[in-house]
Amino acid sequence: MAAIVAAGAPHFCGPDLGENMDKNNPRPAFLGACVRPWQAVFLYLLLGAVWVLGGDALLEHGLAPDWPWRPLAFTLKGWGYVLLTAALTGWLLARAARSEQQRSALAQEMAHVAEHAPAGMARVDPVSLRMWWVNARLADWLGLAPEEALGRHFREWIMPGDPAWAQGQLQQLLDGRINYYQSERLCRRADGRAPLPVLCTVSRVPARAGVPAHLVCVLLDMSEVGATRAALVRSETILRLALDGSGNGMWDWDLRQRRSTYSQGMVRLLRYQGSELPVGLHLLRLLHPQDRQRVRQAVQRTIDSGVPFDETARIQRYDGSYCWVQARGQRHLDAEGQAERFSGILTDLTDQRLAAERERLAATVVDNTAEGVLVTDAQARIVSVNAAVTRMLGYSEDELLGLTPRVFKSGRHDDAFYAALWASVAQTGHWQGEIWNRRKSGEVFPEHMSLSAVRDPDGQVTHYVCMFTDISAEKAQRQQLEFLAHFDPLTGLSNRLWFGQQLATAVQQAQRDGEILAVLLLNLDRFKDVNDSYGHQVGDEVLKHIARQVRAALRPGDLVGRMAGDELAVLVRQLRHADGAAAVARGLIAAVAQPWVSPQGVEIVVGVSVGICMCPGHADTAQALLQGAHAAVYGAKARGRGAWCFFHEEMTQAARERLELEARLRVALAQGHLQLYYQPQIDIASGRIIGAEALLRWLDPEEGLISPARFIPVAESSGLIGPLGQWVLRQACAQGQQWRAAGLAAITLAVNVSPRQFHLTDVASDCAQALAASGFAPAQLELELTESALAERPEEARQVLLRLRALGVRMAVDDFGTGYSSLAHLKRFALDVLKIDQGFIRDLPDSSDDLAISSAIIALGHSLGLAVLAEGVETAAQLECLRQRGCDAYQGYLFSRPLPVAEFTALLQAQAPA
């Protein structure tokens, strides 16, 4: 037993267990096994003294003192003592050996049980709470080898829910006030598994046989118990939710104690304002006076005889109104067969009764309505028609019953029309629109029809209901009136009134959506001369020609209307800048300048002056826009015929400058005046350059360095952003390959893709071509997209990102947190990096708001498996703040400004290992 204790086996019994117990006799096997060593020596000496002295006295005086064999007797006495003590010693040694064997076997059995028990066990130092020994089960729970667990702090791995309570219980255990204590704890695991709930029992083993006092901790796996508890709670929750969600209320009346219990559904059914119904409430007192006696009798009958209780009555709610309810209940008997409780469910029938009333009224309406109502079964066979159907179609009801509505087909709709109709019914249960049908006489006429599917509770279609109205006269009249109300009879353009209404609607939408639009007023130059020279008939033909030219020159979504005899108004939408309106004006001037050729071959050319009024900027109402454009026309005419002018001169000048900048930018792209600068991206942990953002710079020979803030918007509005973006991709990939060929460290090159470029060009194809031409590794190319580019047309963006992912190109979201996309986009799109906008970095670490936002973005990115890079880091305090929150990388003036190729190459060379 001592050897097992020394080896670390736990003490679960006293040191004498197995030593003093005979296998078949529970009493002590030998007295010597129950006495201490000094007591055994004393008894041995006492027995020897009695033997020697008593034997000598007996031989000397008791027997014949003169016996001649007395010397021999003394000798035999001595040998007798030797033989007796030898036999006794042998018997004691054999008994001790057998006892030791039993003790050893018991110790081995206890050690085996402790090692392989289904419970976790540990011996713990009562002072330091360090573990001296753990069994295999506990080591497996901890995710450690048994020897690795030795010396670990018990409470750090077996964590109590209330450490203060556990410390108090331990102190009482050590003081002897309690024998053990139990608590539920969590077993932490070193291998990353979820903590294991356990029931921990702690007892104290006093010091004995050279082994100091220690604690024995036995742990039982409580995960299945916890799962059972959770399942029970879920089951109770589901039952409660099912009852509450059904809209029913439950009551339970204790017939002996005369107490009532009600569910939350009863509170809602009775429209009580509190969370629980008042104590002492009795439902019978709330019944309508006309129903009260009948229901009371039914309740008493159920309690007396046990027949099911099922009654319909009116009950008064707490707002004073009455509602119809169905009450169903039963009695409950005790063990002696006496009525003990009466419980049941109250169902609100108000909606059902209202529905029945509505059905009765609907039947009356159908019979008397002017609309045709036709009902078919699920196989489209007619089962019912009202009088209006027979009146409009010319059939009698008997002629139609059993037929299908195909008898009314006009032949004016193809199969695709009917396929779309039935697809809508199958998908939404409804179709509504205009359809042409045929009367019994053969006449084809238009109908406004509504077709609905009627389904049973299982969702299966049982009937179809068709309602239709003859709209022949209304249709013809409406078409004529709509045309005259909205359009100019000569040109077919919107008239002044209709154009004004459309313009007002567009202005409201623009103000709501932040859209820029413009009104262009076109005033024909010298049109009076045409009428005077060739007559008004030719003048009308010229006007129609100009209207066609203007329509052809407009973009989709733009509107045009005729304001007066020689004035046309154009609404231009979805503009980015005022120069967009100027570009449209130039296009319209060129379109109107196309000559009209008479049947006789005479060419007539009419010029036009264009006045432009912007919203916002110049005006914010439809009337003000038209007035501003009209005033701007005079400015255009003052510049000469065939000119355009903004309502404000400064906008005219700005638009011209942007148009000039666009022309210069095209030249710069063609002549190589554009360059790429590179700003390093630094790994925060190592401080090494891991990437660079490629930034476009325009070095104009005359003006010098032109800010991207000036020319990028111009490139986007003019469509030049596509070629510009393709050039940047090719240059960045080529430069990256040069650095790789020079043996410099592999870095990621990030290239910005504007939303306009992303949606107007094939970015995936451009990347593939740039990578193929340069040989640059796709995994080292990173495209930076803004949130708005992903949110504008998410499905289209997702397809492009999938193609880029197939190429192996990395994707980053630039300026994260400043756009309008939802978090669902981060989950949906295949992304690699989140870039925190510098607006959230600038005031770190002083701004608590920016600190919280940056921390949230970092945590969000890491939870989605994305790297996080901070932009605009300029101070060491900002960098330290980001490092503490686990940000992966940064870029900013703290490390370096954007550098030209040569200077950035020097940075990479300086970083290269020696």
Query: What does the alpha-carbon distance between residue 214 and residue 9 come to, in Å, rounded to a whole number?
Result: 12
- Cα distances (Å, whole numbers) of residue 544 to 226, 540, 549, 550: 84, 6, 9, 10
Q: Which residue shows structure tokens 């004393």?
A: 42
For residue 373, how far is the Cα from the chain centroid?
47
Q: Are the C-beta atoms of 438 and 393 separated by less than 8 Å?
A: no
Q: Which residues contact 697 (CB under 8 A, 6 or more apart)?
A: 674, 675, 676, 677, 705, 708, 898
> In the predicted model, is pLDDT for residue 741 greater than 50?
yes
Query: What does the alpha-carbon distance between residue 513 and residue 495 come to, in Å, rounded to a whole number?
Result: 27
Task: Supply the pLDDT for residue 209.
Answer: 66
Question: Looking at per-residue confidence, does 67 or 149 come out higher?
Answer: 149
Q: Is 828 exposed, middle or buried (0-12, 13-18, 19+ CB in 10 A)?
A: middle
pLDDT single digits (tens) 195-242: 999 999 999 988 876 678 889 999 998 887 767 776 776 766 665 655
> In the predicted model, is pLDDT for residue 749 greater than 90?
yes
Task: Supply the pLDDT for residue 237.
Answer: 64
Average pLDDT rounded to a whole number, residues 50-58: 71
What is the C-alpha radius of gyration for the chain, rounded to an integer number of angstroms? 50
Query: What does the alpha-carbon distance between residue 203 and residue 178 come to, in Å, rounded to a whole number?
Result: 9
Query: What does the alpha-carbon distance between residue 568 and residue 284 come to, in Å, rounded to a whole number?
Result: 79
Task: Supply the pLDDT for residue 799.
Answer: 85
- Percentage of the chain lying above the pLDDT 90 cut: 29
What letter does residue 840 receive in the DSSP assignment?
A: G
Task: Supply the pLDDT for residue 37.
Answer: 62
**Residue-wise DSSP of 199-239:** EEEEEEE--BTTBPPEEEEEEEE-HHHHHHHHHHHHHHHHH
| Degrees to nearest 5, angle at CA 745 with 744 and 748 | 120
Average pLDDT rounded to a whole number, residues 86-115: 69
- Count H helices and E strands in the chain, helices first: 31, 32
pLDDT single digits (tens) 162-172: 999 999 999 99
Task: Supply the pLDDT for residue 107.
Answer: 61
- Name the E strands within 206-321: 214-221, 249-254, 259-262, 309-316
Q: Are the C-beta atoms of 647 and 608 separated by less than 8 Å?
A: no
pLDDT-derived band at 768, boundaries 50, 70, 90: very high
Question: Looking at per-residue confidence, does 259 or 36 come out higher?
Answer: 259
Q: Which residue shows structure tokens 């002996």?
A: 256
* Sign of the dihedral defined by the CA atoms of residues 892, 896, 897, 901, in that order: negative
Helix/strand/coil percentages in the chain, nearest 5:
50, 25, 25
Task: Supply the pLDDT for residue 892.
Answer: 93
Candidates 272, 277, 247, 273; CA nearest to 262 is 277
Task: Supply the pLDDT for residue 652.
Answer: 56
Candidates 604, 589, 571, 603; CA nearest to 523 is 589
Q: Quick one: which H or E segment has residue 131?
A: strand 131-134
Q: Which residues contact 881 (CB under 8 A, 6 or more apart)?
A: 844, 845, 851, 854
pLDDT-derived band at 882, boundaries 50, 70, 90: very high
Query: What does the alpha-carbon distance between residue 529 and residue 643 come to, in Å, rounded to a whole number?
Result: 19
Letter for the amino acid at 22?
D
Average pLDDT rounded to a whole number, residues 533-556: 87
pLDDT single digits (tens) 371-420: 888 999 999 899 989 888 988 899 998 999 999 999 999 888 998 999 99
Candidates 716, 807, 815, 712; CA nearest to 763 is 807
pLDDT single digits (tens) 55-69: 776 666 655 455 566
Establish how many alpha carbons lie within 13 A of residue 139's alpha carbon, considering only the half-sphere containing its beta carbon: 17
Q: Are the C-beta atoms of 201 and 173 separated by less than 8 Å?
A: no
Question: Looking at per-residue confidence, does 420 or 54 come out higher?
Answer: 420
Q: Take residue 286 and report the two structure tokens written for it.
A: 């709330």
Q: Which residues contact 419 (CB under 8 A, 6 or more apart)?
A: none
- Cα distances (Å, whole numbers) of residue 572 to 65, 277, 644, 669: 155, 64, 15, 29
Q: How many residues does the chain have?
A: 914
Task: Supply the pLDDT for residue 11.
Answer: 38
Query: What does the alpha-carbon distance between residue 751 and residue 726 come to, in Å, rounded to a whole number?
Result: 11
**Residue-wise DSSP of 386-413:** -HHHHHHH---HHHHTT--GGGGB-S-S
- Percentage of the chain lying above the pLDDT 70 cut: 85
**Residue-wise DSSP of 412-432:** -S-HHHHHHHHHHHHHHSEEE
pLDDT single digits (tens) 251-296: 888 888 888 888 888 888 888 887 777 777 888 888 999 999 999 9
Task: Supply the pLDDT for residue 913.
Answer: 66
